[in-house]
């Protein structure tokens, strides 16, 4: 089946796609940390953050329309948070540097700006290479071993199970079209249970097959992860740009 949730733009040839996955992980995580560390109500840094982000999107050649669709995913949550800040937020927010808007409104706007900037950076991290390379990069960066091995298993079987979900969803929709009703708990429950059950059974079969082929509990890393001069430059330059924005007064 067609999987639209993974690696859609992973094969584009761009400056960022050519970077080592470790470079992308470190760079975008640092940029993310700098962006989210902006105090609520401080809007000035975003005057630099967003142009930087636009430059990164253009360099990555990932379509803006796709980025906007990913932003739409967090809109309800971001709106809820901003709404709460405006309606019931604390009165101890930092005073605004301009008098046009009050502190709560400023804090609400900065929350929205931070959330969207963060989701764009996260989208860039995952859309500028194949996902399995990203996981390899994380393992090479010494992520906890249990997390690494679980990720490797999950990645292998997420596709199989997504196929299963699509198949069972199609079957469910053909039998029970329309919106959710209380009486349909059983239908959704049976669908989820079927997915779980098949996964459970396959886990044993696949694990036995892996053991028969000499699986020792570890997934070896490919050896073609290399950090070049360009990687180092990107890893220093991009976070430095965001840091300049963060320190802007």
Partner 1 sequence: MHIADGIIATEICVVADVVSVGALYAFGRRTRPDDIPRMGFVGAALFAVSLIHFPLAGTSVHLGLIGIAGILLGIRAFPVILTALLFQSLILQHGGLITLGLNSINMGAGALLAWGAWRMPRVPTGVRAFTAGFLGIMLPAFLMALEFEITGYGRGAFFILSIYAIVAVIEGGLCLSIVNYFQKVKPELLEAR
Identify which of residues 15 and 81 has a Cβ nearer to partner 1 in the complex: 81
40 lies in the site for partner 1, by CB under 8 A: yes
Site for partner 1 in 69-98 (CB under 8 A): 70, 73-74, 76-78, 80-81, 83-85, 87-90, 92-93
What residues between 115 and 174 interact with partner 1 by CB under 8 A? 115, 117-119, 122-123, 125-126, 131, 134, 144, 146-147, 149-158, 160-162, 164-166, 169
Count Cβ neighbours within 10 Å for each residue of 80-105 and write b for 16 or more, e otherwise: ebbeebeeebeeebeebeeeeeebbb
Q: Which of 236, 247, 19, 24 is nearest to 125 (CA)?
A: 24
- Cβ proximity to partner 1: between 173 and 233 the closer is 173
Query: Distance between CA 76 and CA 74 in Å, rounded?
Result: 6
Residues 224-243 that bind partner 1 (CB under 8 A): none
According to the binding rule CB under 8 A, does residue 247 interact with partner 1? no
Residue list 168-227, contact with partner 1 (CB under 8 A): 169, 179-180, 182, 185-186, 188-197, 199-200, 202-204, 206-207, 210, 217
Residue that the structure tokens 């809007």 belong to: 43
Contact call for residue 99 and partner 1 (CB under 8 A): no
3-state secondary structure (DSSP) of residue 234: helix
Contact 18, 218 (CB under 8 A): no
Cα-Cα-Cα-Cα dihedral sign, residues 218, 143, 22, 152: positive
């Amino acid at each position: 089946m067609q999987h639209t949730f993974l690696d859609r733009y992973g094969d584009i040839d761009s400056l960022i796609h050519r970077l080592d996955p470790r470079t992308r992980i470190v760079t975008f995580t640092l940029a993310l940390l700098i962006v989210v560390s902006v105090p609520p109500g401080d809007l000035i840094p975003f005057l630099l953050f967003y142009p930087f982000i636009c430059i990164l999107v253009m360099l990555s050649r990932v379509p803006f329309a796709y980025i906007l669709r990913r932003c739409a995913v967090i809109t309800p949550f971001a709106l809820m948070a901003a709404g709460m800040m405006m309606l019931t937020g604390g009165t101890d927010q930092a005073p605004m540097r301009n008098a046009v808007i009050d502190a709560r409104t400023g804090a609400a706007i900065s929350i929205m700006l931070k959330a969207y900037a963060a989701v764009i950076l996260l989208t860039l991290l995952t859309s500028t290479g194949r996902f399995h390379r990203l996981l390899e990069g994380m393992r090479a960066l010494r992520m906890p071993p249990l997390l690494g091995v679980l990720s490797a298993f999950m990645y292998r079987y997420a596709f199989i199970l997504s196929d299963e979900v699509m198949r069972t969803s199609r079957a469910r929709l053909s039998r029970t079209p329309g919106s959710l009703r209380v009486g349909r708990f059983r239908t959704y429950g049976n669908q989820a249970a079927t997915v779980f059950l098949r996964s459970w059974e396959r886990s044993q079969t696949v694990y036995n097959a892996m053991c028969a082929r000499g699986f020792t509990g570890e997934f070896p890393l490919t050896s073609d992860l290399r950090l070049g001069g360009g990687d180092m430059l990107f890893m220093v330059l991009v976070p430095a740009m965001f840091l300049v924005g963060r320190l802007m007064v």
